[in-house]
A and B are shown apart, each in its own frame.
Chain A
Amino acid sequence: MPNGTEGFLLVAAAVAYLIASVGYGANLLLRRLNLARTGQYAAILAVVCHTFAIGVHCAVTRQTPFTTPAETLSASAWTVALVYLILEFLIKPKPYALGALALPASFLCLFAGAVLHQTQRSNAPITVAPELDSRLISLHVIAILFAFSLLMLAFGCALLYLVQHRMLKRKRSGGLFGKLPPLTTLETQAFSMVAFAFPLLTVGLVSGVIRAAAGGLSGAWAADPKILASTVTWLVYGVYLGLHSIAHWRGPRANYILIGGLLAALATYFMPTTAHRFG
């Protein structure tokens, strides 16, 4: 975790993310609207603190806020929470159940970013990769971050869908039954999120490819595991959209694809690479 004002703001954001997670989670279990409201206010506070923290970071370092893997994780936390809050503002009824997944994801990303930051600081000083100077790379990272956030939320919808579907098929009452959004709502929301995320993902990948080609990287980048994995991820979501729109795939099968898609996206992040560098 960085020191000074940025560090303070990030700690405040982390605490607020945690409170928001507890608020949304408790609302999911207890169905108390005031708990969801607590989560909502905490999430807004967290995003505000996090935004200022990113702003301070950019002002101090005069760099983009995603020059290292740790910063990218922190930026992911911010985009996931921000996109969730935008959706909460736009969608009725409010998708509070999704908040119970989105805000913990934000907290975990920020926490993982802080841990990674500590590790990097002790190992070596940060040097900025020349590739990251490019505006094309900024477009690449921002597009992928927002696409990832939407895909993360689509994953949340798919997860809730599968839980709800299972309870309905097993004819169970009690537990989470009656507390999750209806199946048709979850399915529609998941599809809409992927429909918005997919063009962003495409822009992110294409801008990365153009930058790689323009940057004089040899053809070896095309066979890089991380780049191959990102292509697979893109294909998974492309197949999902195709099957949903053309073959009218609905229900658990379609939602399992979304689960697989996010796993592919996470695998992409952790995939070893030689051609793709943060710094």
Chain B
Amino acid sequence: MKALERHRKLTEIWASEPGFRGWFSTVSHTDLGRMFLVTAFFFFFVGGLLAMLIRVQLATPHSAFAGPDIYNQIFTMHGTIMMFLFAIPAFEGLAIYLLPKILGTRDLAFPRLTAYGYWCYVFGGTVMLISMLFGIAPDGGWFMYPPLTGAIYSPGINTDFWLIGITFVEISAIAAAVEITVSILKYRAPGMSLDKMPIFAWYALVTALMILTGFPPLILGSILLEVERAFGFPFFQADLGGDSLLWQHLFWLFGHPEVYIIFLPAAGVISTVLPVMCRTTLLGYGWIVAATVALAFLSFGLWVHHMFATGIPHMGLAFFSAASTLVAVPTGVQIFAWIGTMWKGRPELRLPMLHLLGFFFTFVIGGLTGVMVAVVPFDWQAHDTAFITAHLHYVLFGGFVFPIFAGLYYWMPHVTGRRRFFHLGELAFALVFLGFHVTFLAMHWVGLLGQRRRISTYSPEDGWTAINLISSVGSFVLAIGIAMILIDVILHALTASRGKRNPWHAGTLEWAMITPPPAYNFASLPHVSSREPLADDPDLPVRLAKGQGYLGTPRHGWRETLTVEIATGKPDMHVIYPANTRLPILMSAVTGVFFLSLLLKFYWTVPLAVIGVAILAWRWVWGLGRTDDLDAQALGHDITVPHAAMTDRSPGWWGSLFLLTANATFFGSLLFGFAFLWTIAPGWPPPAWFMASVPELALGLAGTVLGPVAMRAAIRTNRRGGNPVAGLALVLAGAIALALAFIFLLARTPPPTEHAYGATLFVLGSYGLFHAALATLMTAFLVARVRRGFTSALRQAEFSIVSLWVDYLSVIGALVLLAAHLPDLLG
């Protein structure tokens, strides 16, 4: 087959629907990555406009530009949009667009999940924007501390928009994190062992794992606060056994890692772009990987440093102060590795490099002020002042926006296939750099002079007038610079001339394809034997186009790719992707109905939405799999591997594993909250304890044992060619027994509106009941699949997936029941 014919056939198989309709049905990572990035930058500009409004307000004393109520909404939405609707989705968009290309494969692990996550992001973000247009936007600050945000002090719907809107958007982050994790671990070019992975993939992997473990505490906190506001469960009310500090713990358990979740992908961009700009290779690849892992973990041990002023004991302060200073070490390792890379190479001051230099200068200052605020006595002085605002902007703008602009200019020729023609970018960089430093250096200064964060006005007598005016002028210079970048990008996309492939002479695989990239990425998949395959083999793109790699012959209209063993990069599975579908947008719309129903308190539509999501999820999964046994599939080069449905560890199993990791973090945070309230909160013991019942406990524990045991028996029976339905019926019985135990628990829990003890127990029971219902649904689905011939002695993948969820139900079921019954049984 000739290269052109192969290109046409592959395009026919992989292309999205043409035109506007394709936006709604595409599952292509290239399309969705671009859509994510465009949407994220749209929100960046909205957040930037809000920042301008803040600076207008603060430019002069006694400003009447915005009243305090509107000003509260402006700064809350600025922070919220930048953190949740720009930074994280920009990472997701970049990773979604880039990873399959840089890893040498054709798409991400779960293309429909990518689309579902994107639409959840769009709908959730739109809800937030609508609240702003109607003047009912969140106004409690981007970290929403109760009791200010409780129903007593914030009775309107503003806070609910934040709690429900952000939780909706977080679905997108979790979906993307599962997607990215499984894709990096399993969907790589053959031969790409862990040590040959492009460095960006390591950063993206660590970031995705951090999202999976960092976001669940925030989701839990948001649910608890919304339940408190809607139903009066007093999780954060000190007079009823709650504690507002619980919110701070849950929020910052998310919030501090969030800073690194934002920084690490940007560091991935730096580690990828910098060596190319310096015409060398990255210095200290192994050290950088180790430093990234270290940074990720250490970032989870710093959350209390946001709470130094809450009156916690000295030893607690010292723990987190020590951990906060420690985090400078792995950051320093990366900075020195980058400096070493520049030293080793011959840097060229092209536009991406200018932004990288902007990053160095800015981020190092932000890091140093970070060490300053890690020291408790200094933090007590600077806490809640403009100094902190300036510090966090140095870290986030320096550590994310500059590298992202570098990445934007670096990969733009890849996205468009064009070369830059207008050179506005250099001037824009100068304005951004100068504008940023004028704005935020001044803000450090005025913060040290005592200006508080979030104040809507000040007096001339405070002595802050000139500094604030300088800061505001700087911010408008910054805004002009960013507007020029926007114009530069639009001009590039619309008018620039065709460019050559690989204009930077980079060595990574994304440049081994025609640009703009075709829907299938690679006509055949490469074999990788180094970290820079393209540098080692400049003819690689031609050979791949000729079909000399793996899976080079289109067949059966399949969108096919392969997976590899995690460590070695040896091919281990053949995968056929689903085609274009509108199911993801439909499912995210129904998910949106669920959240909107909660927001507008139309509670009768909540169960309808839940049933709708369940039906669509059933339809979603039903479309996968086969009713016949596929032979081992030839990949080319005399390699054959089994189809994914014939394995124990299918992509669905890996996806479930990492989704359950996030779920377990959520559950762990809930248990932490229970223990925290029990131990620390005032107003304990509660007026009434849960009365233990041995029969109910025994029923539930029997269910926890029966489910996994019966599932394993069903798997064994299926492998021997027998009928596994009887075993699955026992699994159902186990899940139902647990569901009954949870229902009894919920029915007999002390009134949840009277004390945080009853409220927390109610949430624990509801969590257990939800998972029992989920396991029941999944087992019923499996029974239906067995009866319709979707499984066989060889096609066993679905058993392993359901087994994971049944096991998880057993573990959390036992813990919930013990947490409820044991205290009374032990007296």
A, B from the same assembly? no
Q: Which residues of B are in contact with A by a Cβ distance under 8 Å?
A: none
Q: Which residues of A are in contact with B by a Cβ distance under 8 Å?
A: none
